[in-house]
Chains A and B, each alone.
Chain A
């Protein structure tokens, strides 16, 4: 098992290098440059700016410089947020996104998985259809619709009542300022988890060994929790692996709507501004997270099913 993890970590290095390389050149191939959006500047100043950010050199030279700096842990300066390095921007934004993502993850697992089990046990009844109806709504309604609706209800509609919640403010991360964005972020995951858990639980309950467990006279609750649940959780873990990586790196839509100082908004803003170094930084962050989560998922498979062997 340990050698399996070490091997997977070693394979992760070339994977990450390939991602960085492809991303680096793709960004440069995209038309435009980091200084296009601003008011026209005299060509001499533009040349100076390009020289200052190392953009006047041949592309291969730039790539080599970037990789060398990266090896020293230097992600370079942001082109757009001029007084900040990429490391500083991510260092400020990532904790915010990660905390919210973690809270949303806990919420999603605590609500989504039990809902899915409940629906599976009540398969094809009104209760099942109700839960799955809500889950379907959670999946099809995009967060840029869900977030304003939640704001309309909780920040505006319930104004003056004890249920009023602030929106669009951060206040250093005070609890009540996090409720709406975290809830909004978790909704879609609650919905997915409920659907996945329901499907895999129904499948698990059909297994012959569940029938054996019932023939042993075990209470149905024990049959479900002890005999069926572990098998049913395998697809859930598969989904949550990359899911956690996406949750921790924040959502552009939710961070923009709720005005959160997270890292999610950098993904899109960085790309639109051709802020090469920032895009590279967030790409490396999310790629590393996804690779790590996938290794963790593979290890979890072995804990859920002893037939899985690490070789």
Chain B
């Protein structure tokens, strides 16, 4: 059963140069307890899709379509309704732990206020819960950290605090927006372990937004690949990695450096630039960069069509035949 069901979501931003569509007609569902990976380049709309779900779009942004959380539409919901979901039943972890914690509040208080707000906890109960949650995300010397300010912690510890904060009320879903991008590689692995533990032991559904396919491979059950505000391919993680059906997905996979590659070889890249969202090419937005493009691709936009029970792609080309 889907805890989060996004239907035909379109997000656009009013700018001085006219409206920019960051997300176009995206439909996605997050099942209870699963980990859904969202991959794409900067500007592909992967973050904005879930910012819309959290009601955190910038003030010039508008969302259309439906975002059903446990059956209730969050689009157009008032702040009060959103606040019964945010931080309570759906948590969010942000990319930059250095700037995402309030600098003038102690860790314990920042964690505790979630419990106080959603569970009506007393200050001492909230503190106890905060301590338990810090231990759960493996923060060493957790007791002492409660009375520290964010700037006294390292980046990895701050990201653990962010995760603990998102988990305080045992939410049904958490959205992790590039949770490891700003961190050292060794710390990245620890953070991913914690997320895996959360998913497996707390049975929390996780949305993992990243541009790092390695992160996806390690954690996700299903993957959606986004390009220029649309989903171009979606499927189970094994299928996507073993048999990419969209040229963009295939390109992304080819770009990932491998340990068994010959030394001194050139790294593969996808030629060209991601398109300007205000001047999207006609037809398929990827066709100017696509090696499989035909004339049809520049005239007509391929719809996302199911190719197997768990797979769908938005492409006219048949990669196997080509």
A interface residues, Cβ below 8 angstroms from B: 123, 207-209, 211-220, 222, 226-227, 230-231, 304-307
- List chain A residues, Cβ under 8 A from B197: none
Question: Are the CB atoms of B151 and A218 closer together than 8 Å?
Answer: no
Question: Are the CB atoms of A231 and B104 closer together than 8 Å?
Answer: yes
Question: Are the CB atoms of B103 and A217 closer together than 8 Å?
Answer: no
| 23 examples of A-B residue contacts, CB within 8 angstroms | A208-B94, A209-B103, A211-B56, A211-B94, A212-B102, A214-B86, A215-B54, A215-B87, A215-B92, A216-B117, A217-B82, A217-B88, A218-B83, A218-B87, A218-B117, A220-B79, A227-B105, A231-B103, A305-B103, A306-B104, A306-B151, A307-B149, A307-B151
* Number of residues on chain B facing chain A (CB within 8 A): 33
- Among residues of B, the one whose C-beta sits closest to the C-beta of A303 is B104
- List chain B residues, Cβ under 8 A from A211: 56, 94, 100
In the complex, how many angstroms separate the beta carbon of B136 from the nearest chain A beta carbon? 18
In the complex, how many angstroms separate the beta carbon of A82 from the nearest chain B beta carbon? 56
- List chain B residues, Cβ under 8 A from A307: 103, 149, 151
Q: Is B162 an interface residue (CB 8 A)?
A: yes
- List chain A residues, Cβ under 8 A from B82: 217
A226 to B104, CA, bound (A): 9
Question: Are the CB atoms of A212 and B104 closer together than 8 Å?
Answer: no
Question: Are the CB atoms of B105 and A226 closer together than 8 Å?
Answer: yes
- List chain B residues, Cβ under 8 A from A230: 104
Question: Are the CB atoms of A306 and B88 closer together than 8 Å?
Answer: no
- List chain B residues, Cβ under 8 A from A208: 94, 96, 99-100
- List chain B residues, Cβ under 8 A from A226: 102, 105, 113
**Known A212-B94, A306-B151: A217·B100 in contact at CB below 8 Å:** no
In the complex, how many angstroms separate the beta carbon of B164 from the nearest chain A beta carbon? 12
- Among residues of B, the one whose C-beta sits closest to the C-beta of A214 is B56
- List chain B residues, Cβ under 8 A from A215: 54, 56, 86-87, 91-92, 94, 166
Interface flags, B185-200, vs A, CB<8A=1, else 0: 0000000000000000
B96, B104, B118: the one contacting A217 at CB < 8 Å is B118
- Among residues of B, the one whose C-beta sits closest to the C-beta of A230 is B104
- Among residues of A, the one whose C-beta sits closest to the C-beta of B98 is A208
In the complex, how many angstroms separate the beta carbon of A288 from the nearest chain B beta carbon? 31
Considering the complex of A and B, which 5 residue pairs feature the smallest CB-CB distances, nearest first? Answer: A217-B87, A216-B87, A217-B86, A208-B99, A217-B83
A186 to B63, CA, bound (A): 45
- Among residues of A, the one whose C-beta sits closest to the C-beta of B104 is A230
- List chain A residues, Cβ under 8 A from B91: 215
In the complex, how many angstroms separate the beta carbon of B68 from the nearest chain A beta carbon? 18
- List chain A residues, Cβ under 8 A from B56: 211, 214-215
**Known A211-B56, A231-B104: A217·B99 in contact at CB below 8 Å:** no
Question: Are the CB atoms of A219 and B83 closer together than 8 Å?
Answer: yes
